[in-house]
């Protein structure tokens, strides 16, 4: 028997009587669900917050948020990372805009249509460590309207950030520090720089350049890269599996030291894949 509760916000859980009791809120009313096993699948941002509100996490973080420490696991909310992404761009020329409009009128114009995988000079094993792909749009309500962007992402990422609760309130915004391009070796930003060189070469190719206008965003300095870096929609790692002191889950996704609590989402990944998660 399967029961699905919509519009429900998971708050926290307690391990009791050989099982787990989850407290939640649904349309203003309290909901309590008892089970033998609780599977957390709220993603790299949401799963560590449920654990922390339940008193599972770094004691210093929990105390600062006003939560009683039930089970110390310092790795909860740490190791959060993503593929950092920036772009090179140009304005759209009239001929290309007409082609985009014609494609949109026919009912088929994806913003993304292809993906390139490249190997930078920083690759540690000779395998690709960059994604490069173009995006554009005809819809005038789109942020991409009037421009062509070539996105560049480092996908063998070294930088690590955090996500933690700010209070016991499940509706409160969490504390998120992505720390993109922060690794001490400067690996991630070096890969991004190389990717931007490739992106500019593509945009300057005569066949493409004849359809484009001027550069919109100047990405020729490290400061510009840091000012514009964004996520690539692949957050991971904030409840990493492993056996070390910062590991949260074992190889089956079971939370270390807790019976009946399992994590099943990309927060498990200690190191993000070199692809969409």
∠ CA(142), CA(148), CA(151), 5° rounding? 95
240: CB partners within 8 A, 6+ apart: 75, 78, 79, 246, 247, 248, 249, 267, 268, 269, 270
Are 235 and 44 in contact by the 8 Å Cβ rule? The answer is: yes
**Distance (Å, rounded) from C-alpha 147 to C-alpha 97?**
9
Q: What are phi and psi of 243, to 5 degrees?
A: -125, -5
pTM here is 0.92
219: CB partners within 8 A, 6+ apart: 86, 87, 88, 196, 225, 228
Q: How far is CA 189 from the centre of its chain?
A: 17
**Distance (Å, rounded) from C-alpha 171 to C-alpha 277?**
26
SS3 content of the chain, % helix, strand, coil (to 5): 20, 30, 50
Farthest CA pair distance, the chain: 71
pLDDT at 137: 87
- Quickly list H helices, 85-186: 94-105
pLDDT at 108: 84
Are 239 and 48 in contact by the 8 Å Cβ rule? The answer is: yes
Taking 70 as the pLDDT cut, the residues of the chain under it are: none
pLDDT at 147: 93
């Amino acid at each position: 028997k399967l029961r699905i509760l919509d519009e429900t916000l998971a708050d926290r859980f307690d391990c009791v009587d050989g099982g787990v009791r989850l407290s939640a809120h649904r349309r203003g009313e309290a909901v309590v669900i008892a089970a033998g096993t609780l599977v957390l699948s709220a993603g790299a941002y949401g799963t560590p917050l449920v654990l922390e509100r339940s008193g599972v996490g770094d004691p210093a973080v929990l105390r600062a948020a006003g939560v009683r420490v039930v089970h110390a696991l310092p790795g909860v909310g740490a190791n959060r990372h993503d593929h950092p992404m920036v772009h090179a761009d140009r304005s759209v020329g009239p001929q290309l805009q007409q082609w985009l409009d014609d494609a949109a009128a026919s009912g088929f114009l994806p913003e993304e249509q292809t993906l390139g995988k490249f190997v930078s000079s920083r690759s540690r094993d000779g395998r690709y460590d960059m994604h490069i792909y173009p995006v554009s749009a005809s819809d005038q309500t789109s942020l991409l309207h009037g421009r062509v962007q070539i996105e560049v992402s480092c996908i063998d990422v070294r930088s690590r950030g955090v996500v933690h609760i700010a209070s016991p309130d499940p509706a409160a915004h969490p504390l998120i520090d992505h720390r993109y391009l922060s690794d001490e070796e400067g690996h991630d930003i070096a890969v991004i720089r190389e990717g931007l060189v490739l992106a500019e070469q593509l945009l300057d190719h005569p066949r493409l350049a004849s359809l484009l206008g001027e550069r919109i965003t100047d990405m020729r300095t490290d400061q510009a890269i840091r000012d514009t870096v964004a996520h690539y929609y692949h957050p991971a790692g904030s409840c990493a599996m492993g056996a070390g002191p910062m590991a949260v889950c074992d190889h089956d996704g079971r939370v270390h030291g807790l019976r009946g609590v399992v994590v099943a989402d990309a927060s498990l990944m200690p190191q993000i894949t070199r692809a969409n998660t």
